[in-house]
Amino acid sequence: MPPVNPAIKISFLGGGNMARAMIQGLLRDGFAATQLRVGEPVAAQREALERQYGVTALADNRAVVAGAALVVLAVKPQQVPELLAGLAPTFAQQRPVLLSIAAGLRVADLAMHCPALPIVRAMPNRAALVGAGATALYATPAVDPAARALAARVCAAAGVAVWVEREADLDIVTALSGSGPAYFFLLAEHLAAAAEAQGLDAGTAQLLARQTLCGAGALAAGTMTLAEQREAVTSKGGTTAAALATLQAGGFDKLVAAAVAAAAHRSAELAAQFGRARTPTAAD
């Protein structure tokens, strides 16, 4: 990574979980706290942000975005339209890069409120809270390389960041890495319950299921492919092979494919609903 440019200011609109995760990442990446500002309506949250990270937290979003090279939109999707409407004149004047992490809000929906801005959409996941996030980014061809690089750097500070070429890919990403942590937790819950049903003490089953998830995650971060990692645990005719054969016979692969398809479909559906709700009609 090139050294951080100390002249760059990054502003967050919303000081909740995701903003905190990204702020922590940026501080680890070498950004100074004085380069970061947060707009947050709740006084107690502002105090906590200032105390914990040394950043400036303000209630006035216009003051927050003043002079920012990049503004992270980190509020709930339903809070976005009103927030952007209030900032339209400031954005038109200053033209920062807008990095939106608001789930389901398409570039076209965002551009209605700030047509002059380069807009980058990102789909992070909850693992960003522990610096192990998986984020996919999308931008229209109109967004220049410098804006893309800055947006990617902000996202990569909280884990891994990759670009996707089509906006619709973000629905697949939502189904894969966005919702993904829940799938692994569910599997670990079922593993613990199954071990308990076999007679293992509940606490021991929980502890071992949890640690197995953490251990598999750490192994997966290595250079071996997922299939190689699986094969390394599986000896021919052994215990793991017996379990995997049972899973496959029960249609595990098809079930996972159906689950991911359902999540991707729901993501597209929610985005379309939001877009329709925001599209001006002839009556507007």
Site residues (CB under 6 A) for ligand NAP?
Answer: 13-19, 39-42, 45, 61, 74-77, 79, 83, 101-103, 123-126, 178
Element (H or E) spanning 56, and its range?
strand 56-58
8 A C-beta contact, residue 104 and residue 46: no
Q: Which is nearer to ligand NAP, 129 or 208 (CB)?
A: 129
Q: Which is nearer to ligand NAP, 19 or 191 (CB)?
A: 19
State in angstroms the smallest separation of the CB of 192 from ligand NAP: 23
Q: Which is nearer to ligand NAP, 62 or 95 (CB)?
A: 62
Torsion, Cα 92 153 77 24, to 10 degrees, reads: -120
State in angstroms the smallest separation of the CB of 127 from ligand NAP: 8
State in angstroms the smallest separation of the CB of 219 from ligand NAP: 24
Count of CB atoms situated within 10 Å of the CB of 129? 16
Tally of residues, the chain: 284
Backbone angles phi, psi at 98, to 5 degrees: -100, 115
What's the rounded Cα separation, in Å, for the pair 5 and 76? 30
Q: What separation in angstroms does the CA of 204 have from each of 191, 192, 193, 199? A: 12, 9, 11, 11
State in angstroms the smallest separation of the CB of 100 from ligand NAP: 8
Q: Which is nearer to ligand NAP, 73 or 97 (CB)?
A: 73
Q: Which is nearer to ligand NAP, 191 or 264 (CB)?
A: 264
State in angstroms the smallest separation of the CB of 233 from ligand NAP: 29
Q: Which residue is nearest to ligand NAP (CB)?
A: 16
